[in-house]
Amino acid sequence: MKDLIIIGAGPIGLACGIEAKKNKLDYLIFDKGMLVNSLYHYPQNMTFFSTSDRLEIGDIPFISNNPKPTRAEALEYYRRVTTSWGLNVNLYEGVNRFEKTSDGFFVHTPKGSYATKNIVMATGFYDLPYLLNIKGENQPKVSHYYKEPHPYFGMDLVVVGAANSAVDVALETYRKGAKSVTLVVREKEVGKNVKYWARPDIVNRIEEGSITAYFEAEITEITPSTVIIKTPKERVELSNDFVLAMTGYQPDFSLLESLGVAFHSDEHQTPVYDESTMESNQKGIYLAGVVCGGLKTNKWFIENSRIHAPQIIKAILENLD
């Protein structure tokens, strides 16, 4: 019987494991993918908005070559944290289902069943992209994920979105030799929350005509060789080789729902939990990290949700006592 099982080996799941180990609790961390799986799937050349000290966990310094750390540096850092603390992590072992018992839960995976008194859900949000829901979206040339610019050299590229991901993709592919880059934005302008060093760059590239942008616009159809865009004034059909829909991602609520966790009836489908203990409406089920914001995935980050780990472990210790 474990004291707690943590679902998700991202930075916040690891932080919960560290707090559990500090307090001599018997714990185990599961992830259906690799260590910090979401960070691994970020673009290869991504730079964090935050400074490295705000991404630190477990009292281990995060040393970066620049004020803003890169994806590669973050992967190295969280590997080092996991090794330094000797965390108990079961990677590539996803959870199939949970079973409530008289004194806790069974967590069932393809590799076995594990008994625990408490469950911490730290599952992130990077697996389910928001779809465009238009004709032609399922073609091979359409992707909701971006890794690097090389595949788009010499190609006509359409990028959908106006937040950090879309801006980074548009600027990098333009500078690495895409034949043309067109930005399709639902709003009237590039997002105000775009990284302060990137927003002036994209605005200037649009103004000088290096990158074409359609505002208050949306793609209505994707064909093998074109993209059809609807604007307030016209219908535009562009020659196109690839579409990168940087439209954001949403949490998978299925595991929470299977545990009976309730959700507020707001537009963000925010889970119900006690803000002081992070315990949900279900006794012994705790929430940590970005999943606490429901569909509002820009509310919780590594920087401001690290505090969830000590809150949760403090509550578990009190309940165990």
31 and 107 share one domain:
yes
pTM for the full model?
A: 0.89
Where residue 126 falls among pLDDT bands split at 50, 70, 90?
confident
- CA distances (Å), 162 to each of 93, 96, 217, 300, in order? 35, 36, 11, 20
Return the amino acid letter for 235: R
Domain boundary residue, one of 245, 279, 301:
245
* Domain shared by 19 and 70, yes or no: yes
Residues pairing with 230 in the sheet: 218, 235
Judged against a pLDDT cut of 90, whether residue 309 lies above it is answered with yes
What is the pLDDT averaged over residues 296-315?
A: 93
Average pLDDT, the chain: 95
- CA dist 129 and 121 (Å) reads 20
34 and 114, same structural domain?
yes
C-alpha pair distances (Å), 174 with each of 70, 182, 225, 288, 299: 20, 10, 20, 38, 30
Given 223, 245, 267, which residue is the final one in a domain?
A: 245
CATH code where residue 199 lies: 3.50.50.60
Same domain for 241 and 256: no
Q: Are residues 290 and 179 in the same domain?
A: no
pLDDT at 257 over 90: yes
Q: Is residue 51 located within the same domain as residue 97? A: yes
Dihedral pair phi/psi, residue 82, rounded to 5° = -60, -45
**Structural domain tally of the chain?**
2
Same structural domain, 222 and 267 = no
Instruction: Give how far the C-alpha of residue 57 lies from the chain's centroid of Cα atoms, to the nearest Å.
Output: 18
Do 173 and 115 belong together in one domain?
Answer: no
Q: Are residues 33 and 121 in the same domain?
A: yes
What range defines the domain where residue 191 resides?
131-245
201 secondary structure, DSSP code:
H
